[in-house]
């Protein structure tokens, strides 16, 4: 790891000021992605701005129709939150499926979203639930947030501060985990908002996306059988040592069927 200057601001405004003053700064949240990347020298920031001291980025707020999660909330705090478990259980369940216990004790939702790993779990929830990602200067619709492989709508220096999830009538998430890392080879989240269905898919493409073809079919007929005839085109899907594009397209259907079975039961 190359040397860097370390900063630990207490407000978002100070963090942004530090970012703007430095040559080539990066924000540090849980470090579960960034520290391994720096060890490999794939990232070499001159300045590391630790977000862990910023009180306004922490905390979980649960209302009847909306769950707000501070960007610096660790995966295990979402997984074990009684309030989230009651109002938006799919989010707690999804957080509990990330990596392993030690990773969940450090990794944060803001870091996961900003990173936009194609195989990360939270993006399926942001897309599938139609969440809003807040930064210090604007609110970004979940559908607009993920743009490509490791690419988001965030501008340089922009900090994810909190995420707002609308509460659906019911929802379910299923993933096919990589047996070694637990990252999602494919993950599908289906949410029912009073009869309007949203389907968020992660793992399959360069970034998470809405499966509009599946949504169309399920909006007509909310039945696992209805998925049988659907074609999931594999064009643009990831193909790597873990799975071919064709296999990922197949997994989208299988995970969607399992999620739908959970949702209906």
Partner 1 sequence: MKITLQVNGEPREVDVAENTLLVDVLRVNLGLTGTHVGCDTSQCGACTVHLDGRAVKACTVLAPQADGANVLTIEGIGTPDELHPMQAAFRECHALQCGFCTPGMIMQAIDLVENGDQLDNAAIREGLEGNLCRCTGYHNIVRAIQSVADAG
Ligand X SMILES: Cc1cc2nc3c(=O)[nH]c(=O)nc-3n(C[C@H](O)[C@H](O)[C@H](O)COP(=O)(O)OP(=O)(O)OC[C@H]3O[C@@H](n4cnc5c(N)ncnc54)[C@H](O)[C@@H]3O)c2cc1C
Chain positions contacting ligand X, by CB under 6 A: 26-34, 51, 71, 98-99, 103, 107-108, 110-112, 114-115, 117, 120-122, 154, 159-160, 181-183
CB atoms within 10 A of CB 10: 11
Stretch that binds partner 1, among 47-55, 149-157, 202-210, 246-254 (CB under 8 A): 47-55
Closer to ligand X at the Cβ: 117 or 192? 117
Closer to ligand X at the Cβ: 87 or 112? 112
Considering only residues 57-96, where is the footprint of partner 1 by CB under 8 A? 76
- Please tell me the distance from the alpha carbon of residue 161 to that of residue 158, in angstroms, as a whole number: 9
Q: How far is the CB of 150 from ligand X (least distance, A)?
A: 9
Identify which of 103, 128, 134 has the alpha carbon closest to the alpha carbon of residue 12.
Answer: 134
Question: Residue 3 burial by CB count (10 A; 0-12/13-18/19+): exposed, middle or buried?
Answer: exposed
Q: Please tell me the number of Cα atoms within 13 Å of 245 on its side-chain side.
A: 10
Q: How far is the CB of 89 from partner 1 (least distance, A)?
A: 16
Identify which of 210, 229, 222, 231 has the alpha carbon closest to the alpha carbon of residue 262.
Answer: 222
Residue 39 partner contact from ligand X, partner 1, none using kind-dependent CB cut-offs of 5 to 8 Å: partner 1
Considering only residues 118-157, where is the footprint of partner 1 by CB under 8 A? none
Residue 1 partner contact from ligand X, partner 1, none using kind-dependent CB cut-offs of 5 to 8 Å: partner 1
Identify which of 124, 12, 15, 122 has the alpha carbon closest to the alpha carbon of residue 58.
Answer: 12
Enclosing H/E stretch for 216: helix 212-220
Chosen residue from 9, 17, 52, 244 binding partner 1 by CB under 8 A? 52
Cα–chain center distance at 86: 20
Residue 88 partner contact from ligand X, partner 1, none using kind-dependent CB cut-offs of 5 to 8 Å: none
Question: Residue 212 burial by CB count (10 A; 0-12/13-18/19+): exposed, middle or buried?
Answer: exposed
Identify which of 51, 4, 43 has the alpha carbon closest to the alpha carbon of residue 27.
Answer: 51
Closer to partner 1 at the Cβ: 99 or 118? 99
Considering only residues 176-235, where is the footprint of partner 1 by CB under 8 A? 180-182
- Binding residues (CB under 8 A) for partner 1: these are 1-6, 8, 28, 31-32, 35-36, 38-39, 48, 50, 52, 76, 99-103, 105-106, 180-182
């Amino acid at each position: 790891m190359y040397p860097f200057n370390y900063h630990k601001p207490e407000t978002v405004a100070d963090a942004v000021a530090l970012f703007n003053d430095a040559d080539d700064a990066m924000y540090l949240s849980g470090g579960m992605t960034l520290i391994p990347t720096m060890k490999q020298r794939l990232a070499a920031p001159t300045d590391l701005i630790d977000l862990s001291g910023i009180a306004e980025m922490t905390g979980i707020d649960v209302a009847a129709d909306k769950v707000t999660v501070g960007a610096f909330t660790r995966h295990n705090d979402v997984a074990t939150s009684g309030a989230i478990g009651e109002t938006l259980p799919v989010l707690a369940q999804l957080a509990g499926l990330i990596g392993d216990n030690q990773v969940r004790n450090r990794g944060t939702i803001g870091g996961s979203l900003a990173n936009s790993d194609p195989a990360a779990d939270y993006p399926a929830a942001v897309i599938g639930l139609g969440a809003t990602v807040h930064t210090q200067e604007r609110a970004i619709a979940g559908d607009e947030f993920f743009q490509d492989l490791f690419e988001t709508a965030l501008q340089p220096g922009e900090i994810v501060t909190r995420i707002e999830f609308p509460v659906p009538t019911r929802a379910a998430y299923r993933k096919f985990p990589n047996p070694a890392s637990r990252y999602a080879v494919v993950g599908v989240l289906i949410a029912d908002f009073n009869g309007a269905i949203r389907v968020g898919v992660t793992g399959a493409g360069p970034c998470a996306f809405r499966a509009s073809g599946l949504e169309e079919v399920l909006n007509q007929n909310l039945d696992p059988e209805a998925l049988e005839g659907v074609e999931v085109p594999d064009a643009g899907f990831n193909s790597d040592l873990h799975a071919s594009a064709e296999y990922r397209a197949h997994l989208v259907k299988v995970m969607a069927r399992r999620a739908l079975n959970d949702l209906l039961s």
